[in-house]
A and B are shown apart, each in its own frame.
Chain A
Amino acid sequence: MNDRIKRLRQASLDARPVISLERAQILTEFYQSGQAAKVAVPVARARAFAYLLDHKKVFIGEDELIVGERGPAPKATPTYPEICTHSTDDFEILSTREKIPFAAGDEVKRLQQEEITPFWRDRSLRDRLFKEVDQDWRQAYAAGIFTEFMEQRAPGHTVNDDKIYRFGMADFRRQIAASINGLDQMIDQDFLAKRDQLTAMDIAAGALISFAERHADEARRVADETTDEHRQQELRKIARICDSVPANAPANFHEALQYYWFVHLGVITELNTWDSFNPGRLDQHLLPFYRQGLESGELTEEQARELLQAFWIKFNNQPAPPKVGVTAQESNTYTDFCLINVGGVDENGQDAANELSYLILDVIEEMRLLQPSSMVQVSKKSPDRLLKRALKIIKTGYGQPSLFNTDAIVAELVRQGKSLADARCGGASGCVEAGAFGKEAYILTGYFNLTKILELTLNNGYDPRSGQQLGPETGDPQIFSDFDDLYRAWEVQLNHFIDIKIRGNRIIEQLWARYLPAPFMSILIDDCIATGRDYNAGGARYNSAYIQGVGLGTLTDSLAAIKYQVYDKQTIAMSDLLAALQANFTEYDVLRETLRAAPHYGNDDDYADSITKRVFESFYSAVDGRPNTKGGYFRINLLPTTSHVYFGSVIGATSDGRRAGKPLSEGISPVQGNDRKGPTAVIKSAAKIDHLRTGGTLLNQKFTPQLMADEAGLVKVSQLVRSYFSLDGHHIQFNVVTAKTLREAQSNPEEFKDLIVRVAGYSDYFVDLSEELQNEIIRRTEHSE
Chain B
Amino acid sequence: MNCWWCHNPESRKSGIERPSHSQYPGKDELIGREVSVNEVMTELQKDRIFYDQSGGGVTFSGGEPLLQPEFLSALLNACHEAGLHTVVDTSGLADRSDFKRVAEIVDLFLYDLKLADDELHRENVGASNQLILDNLRYLVQNNKKVRVRVPLIPTITDTEQNLVTVADFIKSLDKQIPVDLLPFNLLARDKFQRFNLNNRLKSMATQASTKLEQMSQIFTERGIAVSIGG
A595-617 contact mask (Cβ, 8 Å, vs B): 1 or 0: 00000000010000000000000
Q: Contact at B53–A759, with CB atoms within 8 Å?
A: no
| Complex-state Cα separation, A348 to B4, whole angstroms | 62
Q: Which residues of chain A have C-beta atoms less than 8 A from B81's C-beta?
A: none
Give A727's nearest chain B residue, CB to CB: B49
Q: Mark A668-695, 1 if CB is under 8 A from B, else 0.
A: 0000000000001100100000000000
Report yes or no: B46 in contact with A723, Cβ–Cβ below 8 A. no
Q: How far is the CA of A216 from the CA of B54 in the complex (A)?
A: 55
Are A770 and B49 within 8 A (Cβ)? Answer: no
Q: By the criterion CB–CB under 8 Å, are A726 and B190 in contact? A: no
- The answer to whether A760 and B53 have CB atoms under 8 Å apart is no
Which residue of chain B has the shortest Cβ distance to A687 in the bound complex? B49
On whether the beta carbons of A772 and B189 are closer than 8 Å, the reply is yes
Contacting residues, chain A, for B162 (C-beta < 8 A): none
Q: Is the CB of B49 within 8 A of A684?
A: yes
Asked, given contacts A719-B54, A726-B53, A760-B187, whether A770 binds B193 with beta carbons under 8 Å apart, the answer is yes
Question: Which of B47, B53, B193, B229 has the most A CB atoms < 10 Å from its CB?
Answer: B53
Q: A680-B47, A684-B46, A761-B229 are in contact. Are A723 and B187 (CB under 8 A)?
A: no
State the total of A-B contacts with C-beta under 8 angstroms. Answer: 37
Within 8 A of B (CB), among A172-197: none
Give A716 to B187 CA distance when docked, in angstroms: 21
In the complex, whether A769 has a CB less than 8 A from a CB of chain B is yes
A 760-785 contacts with B by CB, 8 A: 760-761, 769-770, 772-773
Residue-wise, chain B 160-195 has the 8 Å CB interface mask toward A (1 for contact) of 000000000000000000000000010101100100
Q: Contact flags (1/0) for B5-24 with A, using CB distance below 8 Å?
A: 00000000000000000000
Chain A residues 707-746 with CB under 8 Å of chain B are: 715-716, 719-720, 722-723, 726-727
Quick check: B190 and A769 within 8 Å, CB to CB? yes
- Write out the residue numbers on chain B whose beta carbons fall within 8 Å of the beta carbon of A720: 50
Q: Tell whether, in the assembled complex, residue A761 and residue B54 are in contact, meaning their CB atoms are under 8 Å apart.
A: no
Residues of chain B within 8 A of A722, CB atoms compared:
53
Minimal Cβ-Cβ distance residue in A for B51: A723
Interface residues of A in 364-379 (CB under 8 A from B): none
Contact with A along B37-76 (1 / 0, CB 8 A): 0000000001101101110000000000000000000000
B229 contact set on A, CB distance < 8 A:
761
In the complex, which of the residues B49, B185, B187, B190 has the most CB atoms of chain A within 10 Å of its own CB atom? Answer: B49
In the complex, which residues of chain A have a beta carbon less than 8 angstroms from the beta carbon of B50?
Answer: 680, 719-720, 723
Contacts of B187 in A (CB 8 A): 759-761
Q: Are B53 and A723 in contact (CB under 8 A)?
A: yes
Complex CA–CA separation, A715 to B53 (angstroms): 11
| CA gap between A731 and B215 in the complex, in Å | 44
B185 contact set on A, CB distance < 8 A: 760-761
Q: Which one of B46, B53, B189 lies within 8 Å of A681 (CB-CB)?
A: B46
Give A725's nearest chain B residue, CB to CB.
B53
Interface centre among B47, B50, B54, B185 (most CB of A within 10 A): B50
Interface size classification for chain B: 10 to 19
Cα of A681 to Cα of B52 in the assembled complex, Å: 15
Whether the pair A773, B189 counts as a contact (CB closer than 8 A) is yes
Asked if B46 and A726 sit within 8 Å, CB to CB, the answer is no
A114-B181 Cα distance, complex, nearest whole Å:
78
* A716 contacts across to B, CB distance below 8 A: 54
Q: Give chain B nearest CB distance to A775 CB in angstroms.
A: 12
User: Chain B residues with Cβ under 8 A from A604's Cβ?
Assistant: 46
Instruction: Judge whether A726 and B54 touch: CB under 8 Å.
Output: no
Q: What residues of A have a CB within 8 angstroms of the CB of B46 in the complex? A: 604, 681, 684
Nearest Cβ on chain B to A271's Cβ, whole angstroms: 44
- Which of A723, A761, A769 makes the CB contact (< 8 A) with B49? A723
Q: How far in angstroms is the closest Cβ of chain B from A54? A: 57
Q: Which residue of A lies closest to B193 (CB)?
A: A770
CB distance from B227 to the nearest CB of A (A): 11
A722, B34: Cα distance in complex, Å = 34
Q: Which residue of B lies closest to A720 (CB)?
A: B50
- B residues near A715, Cβ cutoff 8 Å: 54
Which positions 105-164 of chain B face chain A at CB distance < 8 Å? none
Chain B residues numbered 215-229 whose CB sits less than 8 Å from any CB in chain A: 229
| Identity of the chain A residue whose Cβ is nearest the Cβ of B182 in the assembled complex | A761
Min C-beta distance of A337 to chain B, whole Å: 31
A663 to chain B, nearest CB (A): 29
Give the distance to chain B from A729, nearest Cβ to Cβ, in Å: 11
List chain B residues, Cβ under 8 A from A773. 189-190
Q: How far apart are B52's CB and chain A's nearest CB, in angstroms?
A: 8
Give the Cβ gap from A570 to chain B, nearest Cβ, in Å: 26
| Contact (Cβ within 8 A) B190 A770 | yes
CB distance from A362 to the nearest CB of B (A): 28
Chain A nearest CB, measured from B106 CB (Å): 23
Closest Cβ–Cβ distance, residue A712 to chain B (whole Å): 9
Chain A residue with the shortest CB-CB distance to B206 = A760
Complex CA–CA separation, A529 to B193 (angstroms): 74
| Chain B residues, CB < 8 A from A723 | 49-50, 52-54
- Per-residue B-contact encoding for A421-450, CB less than 8 Å = 1, 0 else: 000000000000000000000000000000
Residue of A nearest to B23 (CB): A770
Interface digits, A507-533 against B, CB 8 Å rule (1 contact, 0 not)?
000000000000000000000000000
The distance in angstroms between the C-alpha atoms of A724 and B190, with both chains bound, is 34
A-B contact pairs, 5 of them (CB 8 A): A681-B46, A723-B50, A772-B190, A773-B189, A773-B190
Q: Which 10 A-B pairs have the closest CB atoms?
A: A719-B54, A723-B53, A770-B190, A723-B49, A723-B50, A719-B53, A722-B53, A604-B46, A680-B50, A760-B185
**Interface set of A (CB-CB < 8 Å, partner B):** 604, 680-681, 684, 715-716, 719-720, 722-723, 726-727, 759-761, 769-770, 772-773
The interface of chain B, by Cβ under 8 A from chain A, is 46-47, 49-50, 52-54, 185, 187, 189-190, 193, 229
6 more CB-based (< 8 A) A-B contacts, given A684-B46, A684-B47, A761-B229: A680-B50, A719-B53, A726-B49, A726-B53, A772-B189, A773-B189
